[in-house]
Chains A and B, each alone.
Chain A
Amino acid sequence: MTIAIRATDLVKSYSPGLNALDGVSLEVSAGEVLVVMGPSGSGKSTLIRTFNGLETLDSGSLDVLGVRLDAAHEERQVRAIRERVGMVFQQFNLFPHLSILDNISLAPIKVQKRAKAAAEQLAIELLDQMGIREQAHKYPAQLSGGQQQRVAIARALALDPEVMLFDEPTSALDPERVKEVLDAMRQLAKGGMTMVVVTHELGFAREVADRVMFMDQGQVVETSDPQTFFTNAREERSRRFLSQMM
């Protein structure tokens, strides 16, 4: 199996003496779904934000789709990765001044230099896939949170990425809106997309993840298959976390 992301000894600190990432190493295979769990402040968001260069590293190195990122990487290397790695945020971060269609077709037109008609055609197809085709000509503020997040997924997919990163994609949603977003992600996983998902959704992790990684205080506590993790976690810290969640 080819490795999509390989992280070696990542260290990142926001303030001296407190490491958000404290020597994190991991591998994500192509086509794999890795779910990252852990208490807030454990470094999970910071970790996946290093995968596309939103966070810089203090030391350690990353190999993302064959491009090397480390403490000394250049903007050019990051740009090379971003077109191939999609990201979905907790707060959707759609562009409020653009229609749904323009939100999705902006990057294909401006970054990949695709023809406007082709990019819009693609956007419509993706919206269809997300089950919200009829929203194409509305603006983000007119959509529910769940719909906005599905637009955000479509926007990331429009660049035809090889890896998708999800940073707590359902944490800002009303409970009754969570399922529609998770369903879209499930569909994506079924299609063989390589995914790294930071989430607190235990059901999703259990059902969709190939592996679950548990983090605490900037370190990887354990990485297991979901079956083992949820029924028979190896580490005391994982078990304590799970007992608080359920």
Chain B
Amino acid sequence: MNRWLDRWLTLMLLVLLGWAGWSCLHWLWHGADWTVVVTNLPLYAVGSYPEAERWRPLLCIVAVVVLIVITLLGPRLGGWRRSLPLLWSAMAPLGIWLLAGGLGLSPVGTQSWGGFSLTLLLTAGSGLLALPLGVLLALGRRSDLPVLRGGSTAYIELMRAIPLIAVLFFGQLLIPLFLPPGVEINRVLRAVVAFALFAAAYIAEDVRGGLQAIPPTQREAAAVLGLSPRQSLQLVVLPQALRVALPSLTNQAVGLLQNTSLMAILGLVELLGISRSLLANPAFIGRYLEVYIWLAAVYWLACTAMALLARHLEIQLDPVRSAR
């Protein structure tokens, strides 16, 4: 007797889903007005960067996209693979140089940075700062020295107990207080530093998990070969621990990218900031759905690229799998 009820319920659900799907698609094709996105694509990419210099942030974005494609297709491109680590590590300084200028390029102040290029820079900048700091904190937390261990533990627990948005506000307000009068660091840098200080606490815990997964016998084996504790850490323990921690670190990286949107509240015009300012423009009033769907799509694309890269890295770093 229940069979008929099941069938009826299934049918009704299918009809409901079909209707919902169709009306969504209908709205996307016919109801939505995408002019708000299409006409502002340059703004989404580079923000209010001076028009004559727009090629610089655009070049940045293109370089990152090209690098991602090369990396993912790497095995099929043979010779390119060797230079990839070098190219990736050159990306951050190159990006900052392109955006900020100097050394032959006309300088552009951070107040004109914006859009996707700013989102990329915030993510990469804070990630690159947070990773070494996180590793140091994880090592500190496992140290034999009580001061170091206590300090690291206190820092990690404190940072994890404060919401990110509060840390960001603190960063904007407090960092200037610690600097001598007259020295001023700009908003973007302050945001990156605060963000990195926050992320480092989480990264430290992921790295600590990785460190715990390495059996103490590995350290013993390194010790009996005469390696110093420092060499043992550098050559034996850390490379293995980071490999173990890689999936959780990927998680952090994706979180980092998405959390850069909080900086819109601090007045930075990254992706979300641009969207908010566009929605405040009378010409695009009420175009909330279009803007936020577009925003979701961009974040989704960026996060997917990151996830693919991370999976690629995991395979590359697995000695047995990459040796095949």
Residues on A close to B: CB < 8 A?
52, 54, 79, 82-83, 85-87, 89, 91, 93-99, 106-107, 110-111, 137-139, 141-142, 155-156, 159
Contact = CB atoms under 8 A, between A and B. Distances in A.
B225 A107 contact: yes
Contact of A93 (B221, B226, B319, B323): B221
A110 B231 contact: yes
Given A138-B323, A141-B320, A156-B224, 14 more contacts: A54-B223, A54-B224, A82-B224, A86-B224, A89-B217, A91-B217, A94-B221, A95-B221, A96-B319, A107-B225, A107-B227, A139-B319, A139-B320, A159-B226
B217 A93 contact: yes
B235 interface: yes
A110 B222 CA distance: 11
B236 interface: yes
Contacts of B157: none
Contact of A89 (B221, B226, B240, B323): B221
B220 interface: yes
User: Which secondary structure dominates where chain A touches chain B?
Assistant: loop
A83 B217 contact: no
Interface in B195-252: 217-218, 220-228, 231, 235-236, 239-240, 243
B91 to A, nearest CB: 25
Interface residues of B, number: 20
22 contacts: A52-B224, A54-B220, A54-B224, A79-B228, A82-B225, A85-B224, A86-B224, A89-B217, A93-B218, A93-B220, A95-B218, A96-B319, A106-B225, A107-B226, A107-B227, A110-B227, A111-B225, A111-B227, A111-B231, A139-B320, A155-B225, A159-B226
A84 B34 CA distance: 74
A96 B220 contact: no
Nearest to B217: A93
B226 A97 contact: no
B319 A83 contact: no
A211 to B, nearest CB: 24
Interface in B83-124: none
Contacts of A52: 224
Contacts of A86: 224
A91 B220 CA distance: 12
A52 B223 CA distance: 10
B319 A99 contact: yes
Contacts of A156: 224-225
Contact of A79 (B218, B222, B226, B323): B226
B229 to A, nearest CB: 9
Nearest to A53: B223
A92 B59 CA distance: 51
A82 B226 contact: yes
A135 to B, nearest CB: 12
Given A89-B217, A91-B217, A95-B236, A142 B320 contact: yes
A237 B217 CA distance: 32
Contacts of B319: 96-99, 139, 141
A139 B319 CA distance: 7
A99 B322 CA distance: 12
Nearest to B319: A139
Contacts of A141: 319-320
A138 B236 CA distance: 17
